[in-house]
Structure formats: structure tokens, C-alpha cells
Chains A and B, each alone.
Chain A
Amino acid sequence: NAGVTQTPKFQVLKTGQSMTLQCAQDMNHEYMSWYRQDPGMGLRLIHYSVGAGITDQGEVPNGYNVSRSTTEDFPLRLLSAAPSQTSVYFCASSRPRSGGGETQYFGPGTRLLVL
């Protein structure tokens, strides 16, 4: 199994440009999430999905859109990039467990710089 894969690994955008960060998992996990990681702020949840066709907002959703048409894929879209979106983005997947606390499997991350 490849686990969780993310593309691209690095990206430079100009303010106002749009792009899609790709995330795929081959573990048949129902849950998928997108986080951003900034220095001194840990990981913050952007959007998450509990299954195909179901998405919900996390802690910092503004400026980002997601969709979940298949179990495997969970793309994150930036419609109009802003310098404040410069960050490292991580996708994660997990299998639900009664009472929570399931193991989240993270991808290697996408490093995004918005000029």
C-alpha cells in the first residue's frame, strides 16, 4: 500500500491564482482531513470528510473548498490564493473507531508559497 499520497510536493503561486492540492489514499479509509501547519501553531483542521459525498468545515475553512466524490480522493482547492495561505498542507485519513481516537495516517505534505 502507498498509504496517503499528496501532490505536488512544492508549489509557488502568485496572489489570486487558483490551484488544487491532490490527496489520495489506498487504505479504504472513510475519514479524510486537510490540515495546515504553520510555525508555532501546530496543525489546524481546514476541512474534513466522513465519507464520499460528505464534507464539513474545520477550524480554518475560509479560502478553501473540498469535495469527496470517491472514497480514495479528497482534493483541496484554493480559488484565489493569498499570502496568508503560505503554509505546509497535510492530508490525513483514518478508519472510524467507536469513541474516537482512531489513528490518523498523514501524507508527506505539500509546501505552498504564495507571493
Chain B
Amino acid sequence: TQLLEQSPQFLSIQEGENLTVYCNSSSVFSSLQWYRQEPGEGPVLLVTVVTGGEVKKLKRLTFQFGDARKDSSLHITAAQPGDTGLYLCAGVETSGSRLTFGEGTQLTVNP
């Protein structure tokens, strides 16, 4: 099983600040996904990045896939309390379509 490490595990910031969450592995993935999970609910897909070096933007969220397809980052600009939640990265294994999840980053944005 390919492993994914997320950092930081916990992040508490003030509204308006910027933040970056990292997802790293020693293995290559065919693509990488970012999910957001709110308390009492299942994860919801935010984005899938497929090409090494790819950058995708979703409003104030910017996702980047590393050139070697081993790592990814999520950057949030001007965080808002509504961004609070658990952010999970998930790598799609090169051998098939199974997902390997990172441990998650619990983000709290204080008003």
C-alpha cells in the first residue's frame, strides 16, 4: 500500500489569514484528490489533479500536483470560518483505481 503523509495535522488560524496544507509520499500516484469533510458527514470531493505540475484553482483554494506526482499542496487564501473542516488528500494508485488517504488536516478558522 502506498502511503500519504499530510501536514500539519491540526491548524487553527484567524479569518483572513492564508494557509497551506501539504500531502507527501515517496510513491508515485496516477492522480491525487482532495476531499473536505464536515462533522457528521462523509468526505466530499473538491478536486482531482492528474498531470505532474498541474495547478487548479477553486475560488480561494489553489491545488498543486508535484512534478513527480508524489506530492500535492492545498493553499487557501483569505480563509473564512466556512472553510473550517477536515481536509483529506487521497492518491490513486498507479496499479489501479484504489484510493490511499492521508491522515487529514483539521482546519479551524476563527472569526
Hey, which bits of chain A sit against chain B, CB under 8 A? 4, 31, 35, 40-45, 48, 58-59, 90, 92, 94, 96-97, 99-104, 106-109
Q: Is the CB of B104 within 8 A of A96?
A: no
Q: Is the CB of A42 within 8 A of B101?
A: yes
Chain A residues with Cβ below 8 Å from B31 are 99-101
A-B contact count (CB 8 A): 62
Give Cα distance in the complex from A41 to B93, angstroms. Answer: 18
One of B36-44, B55-63, B75-83 at the interface: B36-44
Report the 8 A-B pairs with minimum CB-CB distance, sorted nearest first.
A106-B42, A101-B31, A100-B97, A42-B101, A100-B92, A43-B101, A42-B103, A101-B92
Instruction: Using known A-B contacts A42-B101, A44-B101, A100-B31, determine if residue A106 contacts B43 with beta carbons closer than 8 Å.
Output: yes
Which interface class (under 10, 10 to 19, 20 to 34, 35 or more) fits B?
20 to 34
Contact of B96 among A44, A100, A104 (CB under 8 A): A100
Q: Is the CB of A40 within 8 A of B103?
A: yes
Q: Is the CB of A109 within 8 A of B96?
A: no
Give Cα distance in the complex from A44 to B92, angstroms. Answer: 13
Q: Is the CB of A40 within 8 A of B42?
A: no
A/B interface sample: 24 pairs, CB < 8 A: A31-B97, A35-B101, A40-B9, A40-B103, A42-B88, A42-B101, A42-B102, A43-B101, A45-B99, A48-B98, A59-B1, A99-B30, A100-B93, A100-B96, A100-B97, A101-B31, A101-B33, A101-B92, A101-B97, A102-B97, A103-B48, A107-B42, A108-B41, A109-B40
B11 at interface by CB-CB < 8 Å: no
Hey, which bits of chain B sit against chain A, CB under 8 A? 1, 4, 6, 9, 30-31, 33, 40-45, 48, 50, 88, 90, 92-93, 96-99, 101-104
Q: Is the CB of B88 within 8 A of A100?
A: no
Chain B residues with Cβ below 8 Å from A40 are 9, 103-104
- For A99, the closest partner residue in chain B by CB is B30
Chain B residues with Cβ below 8 Å from A94 are 97
Closest approach, in angstroms, between the C-beta of B18 and any C-beta of chain A?
A: 24
